[in-house]
Structure 1
Amino acid sequence: MEIKSTYIENLDEVLGGGMIRPSTTLIAGTAGTGRTTLGLQSLCMAARNNEKVLYVAITPKSKQNVKEMLSRFKFFEDTVNVHVFDTSMAERDPLTMLVELGNVVTSMGPDRVMIDPITPLGYSFPDSERRRFMYSLSSAIGEWNCIVYLTGTLLLDEIHTSVINDIVDNILYLSQTTTRFRTMRNLEILKMSGLGFTEGEHTFEIKDSGVKLYPICIPEKISLKPERERLKSSIEKLDTILAGGILKGSSILVAGSAGTGKTIFGLHFIMDGAINGEPGLIISFEETPEELYQYSKSFGWDLEKMEKEDQVRILFTPPSDVYPNKHTLHINKLIEEIGVQRVFVDDISGFDYAFERNIDKKEHIYNLIRNFKNKKITSCFTSEIENITGNLQVSHIALSMVMDVVILLRYVEIESEMKKALLVLKIRGSGHDKSLREYSITDSGMKIGKQFREYTGILTGSATPAHGRAYEPYTSGFTSEKDRVMRELIKEKETTAERLSETTGIDHDELEVILSQLEGLGYVVPVSKKGEQYYKIVLTDIEKE
């Protein structure tokens, strides 16, 4: 078995090595998806590598017009042999065309042939006759002993019912999705004979130089031993709150409204690592490198110098330019360049344009975290909370189960003055200080101060002097149903949805919605015990005398 390269970057990797010779590949998709560009680019690159190639165009245009059109591609090679068949002939008398094409192939002996497109062949025939012709075409191709590309204008559903599906070894399906922000092009392998291919949608772009493919990045599920090493922070008192520091390899979510210091927290995280010989990567969607250089100088950090010394890398991508597969490949390249051990993503809303569904965005963030963990990298993500004060939600997608550490930064109003409060909502695998702490932003960065002992209702944004129980402020604005669920969870500490439904009298569907909302708020986390799903209260100290 001879495996030949497609000569398209990353495509061989996705296909499991390349193309088997002989084999027949259908490149299908709707108009404008890049079928001709993909096939022709592979053909031209093969010609550049001294292969004999034949391009067969089925079109009403003349051979001269076809050559002029092909020459507009920057990758086009003059050594490509071009043969043209009229579309009307291909539709009415494909057998005559097939005989003539067979003679051309026999006299030339090409290594690769491309028929563009195949769908007009026998188009005017009844289905049964067209099916017989396609099998005749398959038999003829089998005698050519070369790699054959067939392009076809077909929808995904049409491929599965078309006879073409039966006569080809491989099927590549190209699609595109257009939103108000961008056009996203994807390549999916529907069928590949003889080689193990990578499943999923692989993003690609069409540039002047041709197709640029970005394979989907699905990290392996590697069993890792729990890290016990803790990373020290230059933020005063943070290590004490975190029971000694953040566990190495953890994923951290820092949530807060605009101006609460999320980016400063992340820069502390990166600079602490760089100073201690742990190179860091900043993934920014809003601030350019130059803006981050200037911003960091306000706190006495020379980020530009650190980058020149290969202690830091900055990857800036405007949200409208984020293509997930391409972005992840770039991240992995930068990680390898300087041996990154810490990553700061500022913030997760930068992925909003790339995903229409929150579930897809959550899956992408999960894959990023798994990728980092596999490389033993500690990661920090920020999430912006829309409300400055009042009711809060840690992120607009439920990420608490994905993250190892969740830290909340919050504005609070105390005696007509705005202050800032920090609360560690969760650390997986470790205890932590559960008290609310005041903090401030100074010339040297973030400073954590005393606990808010004298007030309740801190998380509502409007604190009142402490008296009695401190439960109500945490549920300000809750419905009576949500209030009942919270009270039951506080009492039980952890329980199942079925048990909650029984004790609260709330039906299962409504309860699932409430639990999802509480998870998004960071009050509840789902845990698995002996194959059963439990819900556990996070803020275990929210009801005190």
Structure 2
Amino acid sequence: MELKPTGIPGLDEILGGGIPRPSTVLLAGNPGSGRTTLGLQSLCHAASEGEKVLYVCPTSKSEKAVRDSLEGYEFYNDSLNIRTYSISSVERDPLTMLVDLGNAVAGMKPDRVMIDPVTPIGFGFPEAERRRFMYSLNSAMGEWNAIVYLTGTMTTSEVCRSVISDIADGVIYLSQNIGKAYNDRRLKIVKFNSAGYLEGEHSFEISGSGMKLYPRLEHVVTESYGNAERTGFGIWQIDGFLGGGLFRRSSTLIEGNTGTGKTLFGLQFIVHGAMNGEPGIISSFEETPQELRQYAANAGLDLKGLEEKGLVSILYTPPSGINACKHALQLKQMIEGTGAGRILLDDISGFDDVFDDNTKKREHILNLIRLFKNSDVTSMFISNDRTAGRDTLTPSAPISPIVDNLLLLRHLENGGEIVKSFYILKSHGTDHEKRLIQYEVTGEGIRISGFRKED
């Protein structure tokens, strides 16, 4: 069977290349989840590529009214053939519709057909008779030699019980969770008659231009991550405490209380790489790009100048607007577009509003780490420890066990004064410094206390 593109950004990647022709695909979901948009966008894309497409619409509206409502979509193609049927008639007498539709398909020979929705057809029949009708419809569709989309308003349990799921070659389930800031829309492949599709839930958005999907980030290991090459902060004492710096492709977590300078450690890491010709990316969930530039300037770091040279790129995403799959795709595209060798995520608590529990958050960040390692990128994550009164040597971030390096920043009292200190709790493959290290945040950046250059 030939795989045909859907024309929907991200969907072909999820499906493993496209939709086989011929095949029948059920697009199911709750009201407003985007089933019709998905099907129509695919039909109109196919029409723009020269395919014959037919939109079958059981409705109370006229064909003109249906066409007028579709013209609001940017992807609409007026070569779309539309055939309407009275919804009250198809509920009571679906056989008449089946005969008429069969004649229409025989005359047109469309490459793609969409019946939207299919669930009301034969609704007035007893269940046994309705099942027999659906098998007759399936037999007819098998002779069309086309890609057929069927849409239906169904819950997940109804999908499992429906005869339509039995006759369909593929079942795609769409859902939405209506939130305060935005609707969280998800797509899931329940079954598909082609190998290689991506399992799990995938995010998507709907706008005036149609639907766009963001495939779920997979935990894929493509090569060995071992690398003896060192990189670092560019602060000779810190790199020395780490045995000569961070290993390239490694992942580092910097966790600390508010005001300990966590972001400055991250900016120092990015700026040092950029100044040595290694492009960097900053993904910020709290500080805006302008705030980051000002903070860096106050510490003597020319972040703005490095941006202007194309050596640093900033992706700002407010916590209320984070879509984890979309964010991961943006980072992947930025890495590919800039050739970045370093990346900073500040602060990963921004994911707290996205994931229900720490397990899902940890899994997502682990997949990000694998993406960065596979892309030959050294990564750094910032996490704010909001838990007061905890053991100073115990990190709170759920990803602390999965990173290669862990620096814990703390405010400590010393002789009536508050001092900034950090511990290197771990650094894989390195005999790192075990002592408490005091530092200061100055107008010239981070300065390690009590050390001279000759030390």
TM-score, normalised to structure 2's length? 0.95
Aligned residue for 1:266?
266
The answer to whether the Cα contact below 8 Å between 1:253 and 1:383 also exists between their aligned partners in 2 is: yes
Aligned residue for 2:104?
104
Shift of 1:234: 2.6
The answer to whether the Cα contact below 8 Å between 1:116 and 1:152 also exists between their aligned partners in 2 is: yes
Aligned residue for 1:331?
331
1:348-427 map, 5 Å: 348-387=348-387, 391-392=391-392, 396-427=396-427
C-alpha separation between the residues in 2 aligned to 1:447 and 1:389? 27
The answer to whether the Cα contact below 8 Å between 2:225 and 2:373 also exists between their aligned partners in 1 is: no
The answer to whether the Cα contact below 8 Å between 1:9 and 1:212 also exists between their aligned partners in 2 is: yes
Aligned residue for 1:54?
54
Is 1:145 paired with 2:145? yes
Distance change >3 Å, CA 111–CA 410, structure 1 → 2: same
The answer to whether the Cα contact below 8 Å between 1:256 and 1:394 also exists between their aligned partners in 2 is: no
2:419 maps to amino acid: K
Aligned residue for 2:34?
34
The answer to whether the Cα contact below 8 Å between 2:232 and 2:269 also exists between their aligned partners in 1 is: no
Shift of 1:281: 0.8
Aligned residue for 1:19?
19
Aligned residue for 1:522?
none
Higher relative contact order (CA 8 A, sep 6+): 2
1:308 maps to amino acid: E
Aligned residue for 2:163?
163
Aligned residue for 1:511?
none
Instruction: Tell me the secondary structure at the aligned position of residue 237 of structure 1.
Output: helix
C-alpha separation between the residues in 1 aligned to 2:434 and 2:72? 65
Instruction: Tell me the secondary structure at the aligned position of residue 144 of structure 1.
Output: coil
Aligned residue for 2:82?
82
Aligned residue for 1:309?
309
TM-score, normalised to structure 1's length? 0.80
1:488-499 map, 5 Å: none
The answer to whether the Cα contact below 8 Å between 1:388 and 1:410 also exists between their aligned partners in 2 is: no
C-alpha separation between the residues in 2 aligned to 1:84 and 1:396? 59
1:203-254: per-residue Cα shift (whole Å, max 9, x none)? 1100001001111121412341522222243324212221222222211111
Shift of 1:389: 6.1
2:112 maps to amino acid: R
Name which of structure 1's ranges 426-435 and 93-102 shifts more when overlaid on structure 2: 426-435
2:244 maps to amino acid: G
Aligned residue for 2:292?
292
Aligned residue for 1:345?
345
Aligned residue for 1:222?
222
1:202 maps to amino acid: H
Shift of 1:64: 2.7
The answer to whether the Cα contact below 8 Å between 1:411 and 1:421 also exists between their aligned partners in 2 is: yes
Shift of 1:348: 0.6
Shift of 1:151: 0.3
The answer to whether the Cα contact below 8 Å between 1:389 and 1:412 also exists between their aligned partners in 2 is: no
Let me know the Cα RMSD of the aligned residues. 1.7
C-alpha separation between the residues in 1 aligned to 2:250 and 2:135? 57
Shift of 1:394: 5.5
Alignment length, in residue pairs? 451
1:267 maps to amino acid: L
C-alpha separation between the residues in 1 aligned to 2:327 and 2:194? 31
C-alpha separation between the residues in 1 aligned to 2:349 and 2:161? 41
The answer to whether the Cα contact below 8 Å between 2:385 and 2:397 also exists between their aligned partners in 1 is: no
* Residue segments in structure 2 that go unaligned for 5+ positions in a row: none
Aligned residue for 1:6?
6
1:418-457 map, 5 Å: 418-450=418-450
Instruction: Tell me the secondary structure at the aligned position of residue 329 of structure 2.
Output: helix
The answer to whether the Cα contact below 8 Å between 2:225 and 2:249 also exists between their aligned partners in 1 is: no
Shift of 1:63: 2.4
Shift of 1:415: 2.4
C-alpha separation between the residues in 2 aligned to 1:356 and 1:393? 27
Shift of 1:390: 5.7
Shift of 1:393: 7.8
Is 1:132 paired with 2:132? yes
1:108 maps to amino acid: M
C-alpha separation between the residues in 1 aligned to 2:165 and 2:348? 41
Distance change >3 Å, CA 79–CA 351, structure 1 → 2: same
Shift of 1:387: 4.7
Instruction: Tell me the secondary structure at the aligned position of residue 286 of structure 1.
Output: coil
Shift of 1:305: 1.6
1:245-276: per-residue Cα shift (whole Å, max 9, x none)? 22222111111111100011011111111122
2:360 maps to amino acid: D
C-alpha separation between the residues in 1 aligned to 2:389 and 2:238? 23
The answer to whether the Cα contact below 8 Å between 1:92 and 1:124 also exists between their aligned partners in 2 is: yes
C-alpha separation between the residues in 1 aligned to 2:182 and 2:395? 25
Aligned residue for 1:517?
none
Instruction: Tell me the secondary structure at the aligned position of residue 292 of structure 1.
Output: helix
Instruction: Tell me the secondary structure at the aligned position of residue 449 of structure 2.
Output: strand
2:255 maps to amino acid: A
C-alpha separation between the residues in 2 aligned to 1:104 and 1:445? 74
Instruction: Tell me the secondary structure at the aligned position of residue 152 of structure 1.
Output: strand
Distance change >3 Å, CA 106–CA 225, structure 1 → 2: closer
Shift of 1:329: 0.8
Is 1:179 paired with 2:179? yes
1:131 maps to amino acid: R
C-alpha separation between the residues in 2 aligned to 1:46 and 1:302? 50
2:47 maps to amino acid: A
Name which of structure 1's ranges 64-73 and 371-380 shifts more when overlaid on structure 2: 64-73
Distance change >3 Å, CA 151–CA 297, structure 1 → 2: same
Aligned residue for 2:91?
91
C-alpha separation between the residues in 2 aligned to 1:158 and 1:225? 45
2:379 maps to amino acid: S
1:257 maps to amino acid: N
2:311 maps to amino acid: Q
Aligned residue for 2:280?
280
The answer to whether the Cα contact below 8 Å between 1:283 and 1:346 also exists between their aligned partners in 2 is: yes
1:13 maps to amino acid: E
Instruction: Tell me the secondary structure at the aligned position of residue 47 of structure 2.
Output: helix
C-alpha separation between the residues in 2 aligned to 1:234 and 1:6? 48
Shift of 1:397: 4.2
2:315 maps to amino acid: L
Instruction: Tell me the secondary structure at the aligned position of residue 386 of structure 1.
Output: coil
